[in-house]
Amino acid sequence: MKFGVVVFPGSNCDFDTFYVLNSVLQQKTVFLWHKEHNLQNVDCVILPGGFSYGDYLRSGAIAKFSPLMQEIKIFASYGGLILGICNGFQILLELGLLPGAMLMNKNLKFLCQFVFIRLENNQTPFTNKGKVGQVLRIPIAHYDGNYFAPEQKIQELKKNNQIIFRYSEASGKITPEANVNGSLENIAGLANKEGNILGIMPHPERASEAILGSEDGRIIFESIINYLNEKKKI
């Protein structure tokens, strides 16, 4: 299998993500320059965290016009796996591949800290190695991570089990205090209705080795690998 990590001007987690996939998890991984039109036959596209185009307009708003994004939209329409991390999540929202928008954090401050997130749905390509109710300790680093969508859309997300991760206490309890950025329904990650696209605000690539303080983020990458391995057997 083959992973592709998209590189934008301003990306700062592209090499982190590449390292985890290529060196830690021993998967073939390539960089995908945002101005190209070739996805290099990858099985999974990852939009990494960072500040694409310096967030000079709105997080992800300029990146959505990059040439490669047109190829990614086609890739998505055919069921291709796409993982958007932090700024990557914001880009997926701007592209319309996921519903809703990101507002500034409730305290109007950039947040860089470990948080706990509870796994709500393990029936996706990104979470099949986890258990429902499992709590992961993964860091965040963002200013615009306050997820918002109209109430009707929130109810639809609930109905379709598209809310994949929610901010929680270490115990797994969902509380306002655990919701550090103010996201509706404590949403930390969500998928599209078809399940082939996941956007998540915390950084799993920063929690994939014990030396970094947590290996919980590996669950997401290992789930993708497991899903693709099983798919190839069919």
Query: pLDDT tens for residues 38-53?
Result: 999 999 999 999 887 7
Amino acid at 147: Y
The least confident of 57-61, 77-81, 171-175, 198-202 is 57-61
Determine the 3-state secondary structure of 63 from DSSP: helix
What are the chain's domains? 2-233 (3.40.50.880)
* Sign of the CA dihedral with 16 first, then 162, 123, and 210 last: positive
Predicted structure pTM score: 0.95
* Strand 44-47 to 81-85 pairing: parallel
Distance CA 106, CA 196 (A): 30
Catalytic residue set: 86, 203, 205
Query: pLDDT tens for residues 136-158?
Result: 999 999 999 999 999 999 999 99
